[in-house]
Structure 1
């Protein structure tokens, strides 16, 4: 099979980056070229591209390269999401047993949020979500509870931007959404009826990290026909409890630094 030029180039770039994971902290052009069997000219071009994007940086005195801030940011993001998913398994399973509906875990990502895990409902008619796909924060309970607890400057920035309609139930009016977010902060959880996906209902609560900032959300979702006000009322305490437990596992403390979270209701006994 013939390797496409673009694929070969991408592979070389990745190979260069991977050398920084198990080699010396600072690498030179000649050393990289020897390790990968590439010419110095090719290695130099790759490194210049990576420098331009902040993936590596050049020490002007030693003329050696080290990992840059962009790589650090990517690694931190991957670690945060991995930690969130890794600690969530038992809590999600418990919430699934309590509700018998689809349980999801969402992470805050640049430009919105993404589902990173789910346990599908035991009902014959059920809802599933697409893992890894980015969704806006203003549509659906998982996004709204993230938006409600974001730092105010970031929240206002999102509210001032275009609030596109994913369904005919999506809240697209800034003031209406602002009122909804205030209610979510008071309640400690969000609910939705067909706002992100038509005919789907959901309840979600925010998950906080060690620094007190919102990191993600946990939700229960399913057909709107089953998400009656009575079911939402009965389900919400379990969702809040699950989110509280995940936050605690991530090191969050109600009296710790970061955004105030005193409005979160206490979990049921």
Structure 2
């Protein structure tokens, strides 16, 4: 008996990727919203409130409020101006400091700082703006026995010290207003007119000085450096014991300041990249 073979055609249907569950989609959307809020703060030159964030991000005020409460509980944002607005908090500044340490600014600045240290024989420091605070990012210590050494990482206000004011002088006006208000609270005896005049002087000369200010017995000369768009992002300083720093009218001081300004300009050019 002859057998007839029968061929069966088997059709394979393409397998679709698994469809995200409602929970997964909601989680992704929530993460996106949190990221958008943090980015909004990073891109803003001023504190932001619930209404402003809701408008910018097309979110409800209730959603924005919940996100801010969550971020505030982790110190990623902090309330200012009577809890009506928020700015980046200490934890965000810590993240920013870590990010700065991984960017090219340290690489660009390293040979410049070494050269400044070698020429002045004083400690050369690199500071950057993180949020509304200044942070030391790097330093090259003086070879001399008596010297100035800074701590890398802590946050400093923008109103005190040459390194801070060299940055503040070139920031938008609301930074100056905020720094002035903070100075009034932390140092009620401070001469605010003299403080504002010192910022004008920094803009005129291109550098700032401090002597026995933040630390007794310490002095510093600092100049700002800028990104490729012309925004101030940090400062470089030459710091040491006050007794080795000349009067501002002295020729040695002028020469010392010129070296600091030149170092800051070198960093600015380095960050801009090839012409």
TM-score, structure 2 as length reference? 0.63
Shift in CA distance, 227/244, structure 1 to aligned 2, threshold 3 Å:
same
Equivalent position of 2:219 in the other structure:
201
Q: Which runs of 5+ in 1 are unaligned?
A: 1-26, 31-39, 59-65, 254-269
Alignment partner of 1:147 is 2:168:
yes
Q: Which of 147, 150, 154 is the aligned partner of 1:129?
A: 150
State how far apart, in whole Å, the 1-side matches of 2:164 and 2:21 are.
Answer: 45
- Provide closer, same or farther for how the CA distance between residues 77 and 251 of structure 1 changes in structure 2, counting only shifts above 3 A: farther
Cα shift at 1:67: 5.7
Who is 2:195 aligned against? 177
Deviation at 1:144, TM superposition (A): 0.8
Go from structure 1 to structure 2 and tell me whether the alpha carbon gap of 1:109 and 1:83 turns closer, same or farther (over 3 Å shift).
same
Q: Provide runs of 4+ in structure 1 moved above 6 Å.
A: 74-77
Gaps of 5+ in 2: 1-18, 43-91
Local SS of the residue matching 1:157: helix
Cα distance per residue 1:158-180 (max 9 Å; x no partner): 223344668xxx98322110011
Deviations 1:94-136 (A, max 9, x none): 1111101000000011231010000011111111001010011
Partner-residue secondary structure (3-state), 1:149: coil
Contact 1:203–1:221 (CA under 8 A) maintained in structure 2: yes
Rounded to whole Å, the distance in 2 between the matches of 1:85 and 1:143 is 18
Corresponding residue number in structure 1 for 2:38? 70
**Distance verdict in 2 for CA 1:159–1:57, change over 3 Å:** same
Query: CA 1:188/1:29 → structure 2, altered by over 3 Å: closer, same or farther?
Result: farther
Query: Of the candidates 228, 232, 256, which is equivalent to residue 210 of structure 1?
Result: 228
Match of 1:18 in 2: none
**For residues 211-268 of structure 1, what are the alpha-carbon distances to aligned partners after superposition, in whole Å with 9 as ceiling and x for unaligned?**
1110000000000000122342221000000000101111199xxxxxxxxxxxxxxx
Measured in 1, the distance between the counterparts of 2:267 and 2:240 equals 22
Match of 1:160 in 2: 181
Query: Which stretch shifts more, 67-76 or 82-91?
Result: 67-76
C-alpha distance in 1 between matches for 2:120 and 2:97: 31
Backbone CA RMSD of aligned residues:
3.3
Q: TM-score, normalised by structure 1?
A: 0.65
Cα distance in structure 1, aligned partners of 2:107 and 2:185: 33
8 Å CA contact 1:102, 1:221 repeated in 2: yes
Structure 1 residues 141 and 171 mapped into 2: Cα distance closer, same or farther (>3 Å)? farther
**Aligned residues of 2:96 and 2:130 also touching (Cα < 8 A):** no
Map 1:83-98 to 2 at 5 A: 83-98=104-119
